[in-house]
Amino acid sequence: MLPRVALETTVLSHGLPWPANRDLGRSAEARVREEGGEPCTIGIVDGQLRAACSQAELERFCREEGVEKVSLRNLPVVMARGGMGATTVAATIHLAHQAGIRVMATGGIGGIHRDAAGKPTPDESADLTELGRCPVTVVCAGPKAILHLEATRERLETMGVTLLGWQTDFMPAFYCGSSPHRVDARCDTIEEVVDIVRQRDALDMPAAILLTAAVPPAWALPFDAVEETIGRALSDPAASKLLPHEVTPYLLSAVRDTLGERALQANVALLEQNASLAARLAVALER
C-alpha cells in the first residue's frame, strides 16, 4: 500500500467556485501521486463515509447544491440522514486518524475569530480542538488570515500542538507569506520533520503536529496589505452592526472584493504545494 495523504472536501464545495474547485481537486490528488503517495480525499456521500472519493464523487462535491459543511458536531447527523457532507479540517483529521492515515494536507486551518472591533472572541473553530487530540501531522499554510492570529497562536500552544515552520521561522497566515508570530521550530528538510514526528509518537503525545509552509513567493499576498484590508472592513460603520457569527463571512467578502483573483490564485497555489509536501512527508515516514 502506498503512503496515504488525507485531503478535505470543504474547499471543493464551499471554498472555491466552479470549475476552479474541480481543477484543484484533480491537481491536488495528482501532486500526491507524483510524490509517491496515495491521495485520500475524505467526504460523506449519501450518508456513507468515503475515505477516498472517486472522481465522480468529487465532481458531486464541486457541483451539487446543498452539500453540507461537516464538522464534528453535525457529522453523525449528516451520516444518519443520508446526506452529502464536505468535511472540514476538524472532521477530516478525525476520520483520517480513525482510518490510520498519518498525514493530512489542507490550505489554512480555523482558529479564534475576531469581533467587529478586531478583538478575539469565544468563537473558536473545532479545528483547534481536534488538532489537540488527534496525533496526525497536518501540512497547511497556517491559520486563515482573517482570524485573530495572536490568540490562535496562543491557543495552539495551550492545546499542545507543535507548530513547525517549513523553511521559515515565522508562522504563515494562509495566503500571506508570513506573519509576525514565530513557530516552535524551523525545519529545512523532510528528515527533520520525520524525526520530530517519530519523537512525538514515541512519547505517546495526543496532539497533532502542524507543519506550516508559506505560499509560493510568486503568489504570496503582503501581510500588511491583508491586515489593512481587514482593518478598513472592521472600521466601516456596517461592521459594528454585525452579529458575532456574521463577522467572519463579512471579512472574507471584504478580502475577496479587494484582492479578487490574486486571492484565488494564492489559495490554489498553496493547496497544491501543501499536497506535494504532505506526500513527501508521508513517503518519508514509511521508510
Pairing, β 112-114 against β 38-41: unpaired
Read off the C-alpha cell for 160.
499542545
Phi, psi of 116 (to 5 degrees): -70, -15
End-to-end C-alpha distance for the chain, whole angstroms: 13
Q: Is 169 exposed, middle or buried (0-12, 13-18, 19+ CB in 10 A)?
A: exposed
Which of 8, 35, 130, 227 is catalytic? The answer is 8
Read off the C-alpha cell for 214.
508559506
Contacts of 204 (CB under 8 A, 6+ apart): none
Read off the C-alpha cell for 102.
498519518
3-state secondary structure of 164: strand
- Is 154 considered catalytic here? no
Q: How far apart are CA 265 and CA 239, in angstroms?
A: 27
Which of 29, 35, 68, 144 is catalytic? The answer is 144
Helical axes 261-286 vs 190-202, angle rounded to 10°: 60
The closest alpha carbon to 158, from 129, 117, 193, belongs to 129
CA angle 65, 66, 72 (to 5 degrees): 140
- Is 69 considered catalytic here? no
Q: How far apart are CA 280 and CA 213, in angstroms?
A: 13
Q: List residues with catalytic annotation.
A: 8, 144
